[in-house]
Structure 1
Amino acid sequence: MIISVIFLVQTSMNFNTSLYSNALTGISEEFGVSMQAARCGAMIFLVLYAFGCELWAPWSEELGRKPILQLSLFLVNIWQLPVALAPNFASIMVGRALGGLSSAGGSVTLGMIADLWEADDQQYAVACVVFSSVGGSVIGPVVGGFVEAYLPWRWNIWIQLIFGGFVQVAHLLLVPETRTTIMMDRIAKKRRQSGEDPNIYGPNELVPFRERFSMREVLITWIRPFKMFLTEPIVLTLSLLSGFSDALIFMFIQSFSLVYDQWGFGTVELGLSFLPILVGYFIAWGAFIPVIRRNIEERRRKPDDERAQYESRLWFLLYTAPCLPIGLIGFAWTSLGPPVHWIGSMVFSAIVGIANYSIYMATIDYMICAYGPYSASATGGNGWSRDFLAGVLTIPATPFFENIGGKYHLEYASTILFCISFLLVIAVYVIYWYGPALRKRSPFAQQLSDARVELQTHGRRLSKIPSGSRANSFARSQQNLRIRHTLGSRPGSYIASRPAS
């Protein structure tokens, strides 16, 4: 049930980023602005979404996943209203900006995955959440095509609000708190109230509120994801890889209206042209299932082999990453228009979808494994790269495809993207082979790895502790607090007895 709601939350967040595009024509006509100006609403949402992910993620590690995600969902829903009821274009820009900044993004939901599953068992759950993330971005244009054809533009926003409200209620009613330290605080408080153990306290209870939330601690918490992005080579490298690949794919998708106009596609048909990408996501998701099984078996056979524990998660990417340049060059030269059939370009769109899912899945899985309790901050860098670069490219994307070259401007533009994608594919192989060196140069990831080894040495291997048990919570807290000081946050105290006065 929890993973199903996380799936819906993630789908809703990405649905918000893409459905707005189908309101552009209506906004342009009603408020007398150009299409490029109307696209600024999409641009500002994505750019501030990138920063929102970074700002919300560390607070979910301090205050708990549930209250932070609830507040984020509530604010995102509230900021739909100024857009849906906008009397002028400025109201739309303000609503979109605040909505993007209020979005917690996948960093919090992926942090919940790290809470619920050990590194050895997380991959199936990560694969599900990654699909909801990339799938939500594609479902938006499919739904939006019908909305644009048959309803006023404001219905694009009302539909986002209805979906977002449903998801928030589902999350409120069906998903408990998953953050270990918060759960331990509650367990300790309950045991004191019941009289079972009056001297037991959780990790945060012995720290005064004023000390926990001093200006210094607030700044440290907010800076944490950016510090990890800049100082952890794993986070920086994988985030840039994922971000640039997503930016290329975003540019590629922006060409759809120009490409399929050659075949006379209407609004509905144009929306449906995104379905092949969704098919590619399904294919990649299904292909990862036996790969995950293979990875699990390899880790069990080689428990002391770090490459088996970490880099094996990137192994399948060696075969799927080349789908990105293959899909882009194939799409480029099947986009010629009649008499070439449109189905050819859609086949290559599906191949691009396979690459997009695979790159996101492999990089996120690797980072969650490496950073465990602080994966929300680590994956925040990944989300920042993807959303920021996609947002920045929103405005120049259409002119890029319209103005490159002459008769074959669409084909040349996609070919340029193909050439850039080659560099990204090379980076995948470099990261795979030099992953151990990157980890050794990542102080936070290395200390977390050492903490895991220490727990294994004492016979408390985390993967063998039943998920959700108190023992599991205790072991996680030990691991969590051993590495906490690396990022400069306050020292915590795991469940302990306060000396009687």
Structure 2
Amino acid sequence: MGKRFDDLSNNNTENFNEKTDVNSSASESSRPKEAYFEKKDDKGRIVLTEEMAPEVLGFAFSEKKKYMILTVIAILQISMNFNTSVYPNAVGAISEEWGVSAQAARVGQMGFLVLYAFGCELWAPWSEEYGRWPILQLSLFFVNIWSLMQALSPNYATMMVGRFLAGLSSAGGSVTLGLVADLWDADTQQYGVAYIVWSSVSGTTVGPIVGGFMESFAPWRWIFWVQLIFGGFTMALHFLIVPETRSTILLDREAKRRRKQAVKDGKPEPNIWGPNEVKESRISVKEIIVTFYRPFELFVREPIVLFCSMLSGFSDMLIFIFLESYGPVFGQWGFAAWATGLGFVPVWIGYFIGWASFIPFIRKDMAQRKIDRFSVPPERRLYWLLWTAPLEAIGLFGFAWTSLGPDYNVHWIAPMIFAAMIGIANYCIYMATIDYMVAAYGPYASSATGGNGFARDFLAGISAMFSTPFYNHFDTYTLEYPSTILACIATCLIAPIFLLYFKGPTVRQRSRFAQSLNDEFESTKVRAQVREEKARGEAEHFEHA
């Protein structure tokens, strides 16, 4: 969730000399003062740090400005996930237009999501080096170009190429969650993370709601024209409202401003440089490979990342399976495409409920951390999930056996109620697992959450190919048995959450990645103590004077 976390544990990137000057006394006050925690590179250049210029960072923005930025980013996230979930409404028309099977038409859905999973990880390191703003603008530009290509596609092959490239061009959660880390530190960013998580899951429901109306009342190509219009609006909004937030970029700008201002005032140019200005190369091939590889390493080697990602990925996969099951389920009550799309409104309401339900727990934890930031263990962030994660299995069992239809005197509102329960669980699972991994992995939080996001998008993409055959496989209870099987799988995947809540500290002690957070905490404690001692010494000096 930002390379500024990674820098804490990376001893090989720069040869910095950190000066703390803890034991300075009043008699030494005549010496030239050095910036606190001043850093110099091997050429003697002073490197501007977050401690030296906190006023220029995203942390210093007002809360109003932060949430204005975050609202635009939420719209951006919705637009990208809208592109993933509106496509199924065009499958029938694409199949008829170019004489391909419906299963072949669904390849566009699978390809977009699978490449979206890889695209998020590919865009992330570039946003750390060159800033969030240009990378998100570039991503939106390419996505819009490929949306235009899809809208004008003359044949099936062009459509598939456009879908694949659009997925690869989408810079999703890895960049947007990194932007949250630019605005708040790890102890205060839960509200921001909750907002972005809501926007991410909301995009998957806005797609079928809007897509149902377009399928019913507009030519099928309008599905792609609307993607382009939405993407163009989002790109313009981001261009006009959102400033750069990446700390290293802001420090580079401040260092240049200070040098320029000194020359303008007729003073010698200060020996102050930005973090990227002292680098010999901005980003190396090795760094790209390590950044891209590490999420998969954590996914395979870390039980916390594996179980959290599998649960989160399976939960997201359900939503895309719903895109296929909703048609036959609500078709029993004679729902048209637009009415079936409205059936996702309860899921969306479930997302709002899940979001609101986290607020009391976030408030309580933040109040406790203000007293002692080290008194709240990462496992505390899983507490509410212990109560909400079972709603996924309950909702699936309920959805399965209320899908019998009007022949069994079942009202259509019944499966929608259970779908809302699944929506609550889906939001809470994504939010809690992301939040927990941020707290548990510290410097490696970006890689840990990257594995989570990858699992969600990849499994959702795979589901596009098996969901319809899965629901057509059984001769009897065609709609009930598949959802029941999914409910049984959900029950199995929920169990590790209870294990992590009660045994999480033991699991983290065996992880070299999670253990790095303890080192960071120790370093933070030492720095806080040094600051307090220095401030106390200066106060005594002023009092004596």
Paired letter, 1:381: G
Q: CA deviation at 1:125?
A: 1.1
Paired letter, 1:70: Q
Q: CA deviation at 1:169?
A: 1.4
Runs of 4+ off more than 6 Å: none
Alignment-derived partner of residue 32 in structure 2: none
Q: CA deviation at 1:301?
A: 5.0
Which residue of the other structure, out of 333, 356, 361, is the alignment partner of 2:431?
Answer: 361
SS in 2 for 1:316: helix
Which residue of the other structure, out of 313, 322, 342, is the alignment partner of 2:390?
Answer: 322
Alignment-derived partner of residue 101 in structure 2: 34
Alignment-derived partner of residue 205 in structure 2: 138
Distance (whole Å) between structure 2 residues aligned to residue 57 and residue 437 of structure 1: 31
Distance (whole Å) between structure 1 residues aligned to residue 345 and residue 243 of structure 2: 34
Alignment-derived partner of residue 17 in structure 2: none
What is the CA deviation profile of residues 346-381 of structure 1, one whole-angstrom value per residue up to 9, with x for unaligned ones?
100000001000000101112233455664433221
Distance (whole Å) between structure 1 residues aligned to residue 443 and residue 80 of structure 2: 23
Which residue of the other structure, out of 191, 203, 218, is the alignment partner of 2:275?
Answer: 203
Q: CA deviation at 1:171?
A: 1.3
Alignment-derived partner of residue 488 in structure 1: none
Is 1:333 aligned with 2:398?
A: no
Is 1:447 aligned with 2:488?
A: no
SS in 2 for 1:79: helix
Is 1:385 aligned with 2:455?
A: yes
Q: CA deviation at 1:426?
A: 0.5
Which residue of the other structure, out of 527, 531, 535, is the alignment partner of 1:458?
Answer: 527
Contact 1:31–1:88 (8 Å) recurs in 2: yes
SS in 2 for 1:393: helix
Distance (whole Å) between structure 2 residues aligned to residue 199 and residue 225 of structure 1: 38
Q: CA deviation at 1:242?
A: 1.1
Is 1:106 aligned with 2:173?
A: yes
Contact 1:455–1:461 (8 Å) recurs in 2: no
Contact 2:397–2:483 (8 Å) recurs in 1: yes
Cα distance change of structure 1 residues 444 and 222 upon mapping to structure 2, 3 Å threshold: same
Paired letter, 2:275: P
Distance (whole Å) between structure 2 residues aligned to residue 74 and residue 228 of structure 1: 32
SS in 2 for 1:458: helix
Alignment-derived partner of residue 483 in structure 1: none
Instruction: Give percent identity, aligned residues only.
Output: 59
Which residue of the other structure, out of 489, 495, 503, is the alignment partner of 1:434?
Answer: 503
Q: CA deviation at 1:96?
A: 0.3
Contact 2:129–2:283 (8 Å) recurs in 1: no
Distance (whole Å) between structure 2 residues aligned to residue 218 and residue 117 of structure 1: 25
Q: CA deviation at 1:456?
A: 2.9
Is 1:153 aligned with 2:220?
A: yes
Which residue of the other structure, out of 411, 420, 442, is the alignment partner of 1:350?
Answer: 420
Cα distance change of structure 1 residues 107 and 390 upon mapping to structure 2, 3 Å threshold: same
Alignment-derived partner of residue 304 in structure 1: 374
Alignment-derived partner of residue 280 in structure 1: 350
What is the CA deviation profile of residues 380-409 of structure 1, one whole-angstrom value per residue up to 9, with x for unaligned ones?
2111100101111111101111112x3312
More displaced, 360-369 or 124-133? 360-369
Paired letter, 1:188: A
Paired letter, 2:349: V
Q: CA deviation at 1:249?
A: 4.2
Paired letter, 2:251: M
Contact 1:57–1:380 (8 Å) recurs in 2: no
Higher Cα Rg, which structure: 2
| RMSD across aligned positions (CA) | 2.0
Paired letter, 1:280: G
Distance (whole Å) between structure 1 residues aligned to residue 523 and residue 516 of structure 2: 10
Alignment-derived partner of residue 490 in structure 1: none
Cα distance change of structure 1 residues 271 and 48 upon mapping to structure 2, 3 Å threshold: same
Distance (whole Å) between structure 2 residues aligned to residue 370 and residue 183 of structure 1: 28
Cα distance change of structure 1 residues 180 and 374 upon mapping to structure 2, 3 Å threshold: farther
Paired letter, 1:254: E
What is the CA deviation profile of residues 309-359 of structure 1, one whole-angstrom value per residue up to 9, with x for unaligned ones?
411111100000010111000111111000211111110000000100000
More displaced, 449-458 or 65-74? 449-458
What is the CA deviation profile of residues 225-261 of structure 1, one whole-angstrom value per residue up to 9, with x for unaligned ones?
3344344444333222211232244334431111111
Q: CA deviation at 1:142?
A: 0.4
How many equivalent residue pairs? 457
Contact 1:303–1:309 (8 Å) recurs in 2: no
Q: CA deviation at 1:22?
A: 1.0
Distance (whole Å) between structure 1 residues aligned to residue 174 and residue 92 of structure 2: 32
Distance (whole Å) between structure 2 residues aligned to residue 231 and residue 320 of structure 1: 27
Identify which of structures 1 and 2 has the higher relative contact order when contacts are C-alpha pairs closer than 8 Å and 6+ apart: 1
Which residue of the other structure, out of 89, 114, 125, is the alignment partner of 1:22?
Answer: 89
SS in 2 for 1:292: helix
Which residue of the other structure, out of 133, 158, 161, is the alignment partner of 1:91?
Answer: 158
Distance (whole Å) between structure 2 residues aligned to residue 114 and residue 357 of structure 1: 20
What is the CA deviation profile of residues 31-74 of structure 1, one whole-angstrom value per residue up to 9, with x for unaligned ones?
11111111111010001001111111122222222222111111
Alignment-derived partner of residue 191 in structure 1: 258
Cα distance change of structure 1 residues 336 and 2 upon mapping to structure 2, 3 Å threshold: same
Paired letter, 2:277: E
Contact 1:321–1:359 (8 Å) recurs in 2: yes
Alignment-derived partner of residue 117 in structure 1: 184
SS in 1 for 2:178: helix
Paired letter, 1:223: Y
Q: TM-score, normalised by structure 1?
A: 0.87
Is 1:163 aligned with 2:235?
A: no
Q: CA deviation at 1:144?
A: 0.6
More displaced, 53-62 or 390-399? 53-62
Q: CA deviation at 1:430?
A: 1.2
Paired letter, 2:295: P
What is the CA deviation profile of residues 204-239 of structure 1, one whole-angstrom value per residue up to 9, with x for unaligned ones?
211223xx3443344334334334434444433322
Paired letter, 1:297: A
Q: CA deviation at 1:292?
A: 1.4
Is 1:414 aligned with 2:483?
A: yes
Contact 2:215–2:337 (8 Å) recurs in 1: yes
Paired letter, 2:397: I
What is the CA deviation profile of residues 425-468 of structure 1, one whole-angstrom value per residue up to 9, with x for unaligned ones?
11111121222233333333432442233123321899xxxxxx
Alignment-derived partner of residue 59 in structure 2: none
Q: CA deviation at 1:165?
A: 1.0
